[in-house]
Structure 1
């Protein structure tokens, strides 16, 4: 069990974590015809918007209540009302997810009361579902905001319904890319099960050219699908961050659940396929048996390069566990693990210590490591240390195709193993003919022997 250490630094030097409101907004972007709104200043929203746009290289729908100095002191009810009315008039979303920020949380606003008053005063909002998520950005991290958003959406919109056989709920963690979710959906549908994925960014942030522009999210989990989640027979969660959402579904609709701490690796995918086989009463499809064999071969081929290396990791808890556990299984050591927030995932990580800190803390411990793994803000650290950097997590803004990177399932795990191994192969020193030449002093010593013969 890893020991969790909080350093209690006076300031963050090179940030690793992203904020709760941003995590909640990201979850909202997995809902169809949705508009995420940050209840705070324009700067808070602009910063998050830039990060999302640079990571996905897509237009991002994200609005703000535009709080200023006066409304922060006197209260932001009018800002909330005006924002909601303008959004409904211009974009006509089916769902608005309102996320608080540190500004409004410190002010102590009763946002839930604001929304209730707006509902009574403005009947034109009756066709739009309003979901409020409390996400103060002075505590927690991206993963916490995402987790809170799932719980808030479930509690606001899901009701118990008669059970629909073969329908299952899937709660993906924030560390899963759109391509990861597509892969997971394909696996579940191969067992003739019908998944309701909540939230589903594979429909809205998968990098497609949309036929129209509505000003809201274009794709994702529809409002009807969210409501239908109360009729599912089972819930599958990916990552510890989904546990609260799965428990909320169980409380509301009596739906049993299982949380898979990760789906990057051999053993957790074995467990997933066995669970799906029991739920569907079907055998595991032959193609996944083949993919499993391919993954084993990939791990065998790659362990010559990965085995024995030292890796420094910096990531959100569930991503840290997924990547770190796989590398450990192939023989890597994890002397430096830095994360953003407390989580039960840390106890499962095969290392002695997890530091809750920033990239400065990661850099201080990574001098003897062979590989760095974190998001794009680690590029300066990698340059200073002269170490290879594998970019992963959020944000990755100096690479394209982030929506299409798959790291779950047998196939996604194999992709990740090859990515790591190939990065390390590039660092292997190749000998040249001159490296094998004997030094001149050796030739001089050998000469008398030759003359004597």
Structure 2
């Protein structure tokens, strides 16, 4: 079993952790006509908005209850009611995600009670779905907040007893935070290729995929999973839960669903991807489409082409648990060695990682580990760019945020096509690193070009 070691430093010098509210906000971006409402100070939402705009280069609909010193001490339920009323009247959302912060959790705010009081006093807004999520900053990280929203969605919106009947062509796909809009788009195409109707939860393929929509600025999310489909999730023929962090989501969904539930840690190895396609083939009764078989063949060819460049290369990683699991499995399946591994907080998936040690720390801890055990590549977010430049190690950007490269927010890593392109990317990095080493010239080498011609002819 992996040894999880906590850093002994009293503080984080160069943190890689992102708070739970950011994860819940990211998941809320994949719900249709939704606006997240952060129950906290204005700085809480402003901080999150800056991170998301830097990463996605898109406008982010986000509001705050604007807690201040007096309401923090005396109670801020009135702030919640006023904010919900304003959003319902001005923006006409279909969904409002009300999430807590460290400030409101420390103050002791009861979100469910505040929403119940709002429902009583404003019955005309009963058609608006309000989802409450507990996401304190002082516990967990972005991965935990993302999973918490999906857990709350299953508990609050899916009936405990599924209605009669089953929708044979509908398939639920719950996706971890590690899936980019590009990954989600590819996964959707795999499901649709078998004649099935995927319900992506959440669905970022239209809300944060870099699409320039027509018309003015929208105060709500564009695209995303419709509310009516989420209420019918229990009637789908099957559910795929992709991501170790979503195991509790699977446990909550199974008794509420008439279909089977399939749990996959990721889609970044040939084994996991083949299992995904095999189950789609079995559910639909259709043969595997030719274009999917071709993508698989392209991946196998890429594995052969890149084997020489990647075999035995040593990697270092700093990311959330789901990303670490995906990248570690991918690296080991391609003959690469994983050395230093750093995670922001202790999460359930870390203990099952196929590595010796995982350090709970920050980028400074990763720098110390690299000093003792050098690596050929570093996998982390953009905050590690300075470290990689200082140590002259290529940085493969992954996770959140990535703010110093364009288009990274939708780069495809999962699926046959994603793995194929990732292999070529890593192979080119290693080829560049090896072929651009300066040629060694021995100081004992004799320079015969300086010997006079007559002396050379007499030798």
TM-score (norm. length: structure 1): 0.94
Q: 1:423 — aligned with what?
A: 429
- Which string of whole-angstrom CA distances, capped at 9 and with x for unpartnered residues, describes residues 267-288 of structure 1? 1111111111111122222222
Determine whether 1:201 maps to 2:241: no
TM-superposed deviation, 1:247: 2.1
In structure 2, how many angstroms separate the alpha carbons of the residues matched to 1:392 and 1:283?
A: 34
Gaps of 5+ in 1: none
RMSD: 2.3
Closer, same or farther: CA 432–102 of 1 in aligned 2, 3 Å: closer
Whether 1:345 and 2:349 are equivalent positions in the alignment is yes
Q: How does 1:4-403 map to 2 (within 5 A)?
A: 4-159=4-159, 160-161=162-163, 162-212=165-215, 213-367=217-371, 368-403=374-409
Report the CA distance between 1:404 and its aligned residue: 2.6
Shift of 1:430: 4.2
Contact 2:402–2:409, Cα closer than 8 Å, also in 1: no
Q: Is the 8 A contact 1:249 1:255 kept in 2?
A: no
The more displaced of 318-327 and 58-67 is 318-327
Distance in 2 between residues matched to 1:254 and 1:424, nearest whole Å: 48
In the aligned structure 2, how far is the partner of 1:426 from the partner of 1:65?
51
What is the DSSP-based 3-state SS (H/G/I as helix, E as strand, rest coil) of the residue aligned with 1:440?
coil
Q: Is this contact kept in 2: 1:334–1:350, CA < 8 A?
A: no
8 Å contact 1:91–1:214 — kept in the other structure? no
Q: In structure 2, how many angstroms separate the alpha carbons of the residues matched to 1:200 and 1:141?
A: 21
TM-score after normalising by structure 2: 0.93
Structure 2 distance, partners of 1:60, 1:420, is 32
Separation of aligned partners in 1, 2:440 and 2:255: 71
Q: Which moved more, 1:329-338 or 1:131-140?
A: 329-338
**Pair 341,186 (structure 1): closer, same or farther in 2 beyond 3 Å:** same
- 1:120 Cα offset (Å): 0.6
Rounded Cα–Cα distance in structure 1 between residues aligned with 2:132 and 2:306: 46
- Find the aligned partners of 1:360 and 1:434 in 2 and give their Cα distance: 33
Q: CA deviation at 1:126?
A: 1.4
Separation in 1 of the partners of 2:309 and 2:401?
Answer: 27
Write out the 4+ residue segments of structure 1 that deviate beyond 6 Å after TM superposition.
431-434, 441-445, 449-453
* Secondary structure in 2 matching 1:209: coil
Distance of 1:92 and 1:223 partners within structure 2: 14
Where in structure 2 are there 5+ consecutive unaligned residues? none
Q: How many residue pairs were aligned?
A: 452
1:366 partner SS: helix
For the residues of structure 2 that align with 1:364 and 1:437, how far apart are their CA atoms?
34
Moved more, 365-374 or 422-431: 422-431
In 2: Cα distance, 1:241 partner to 1:373 partner: 20
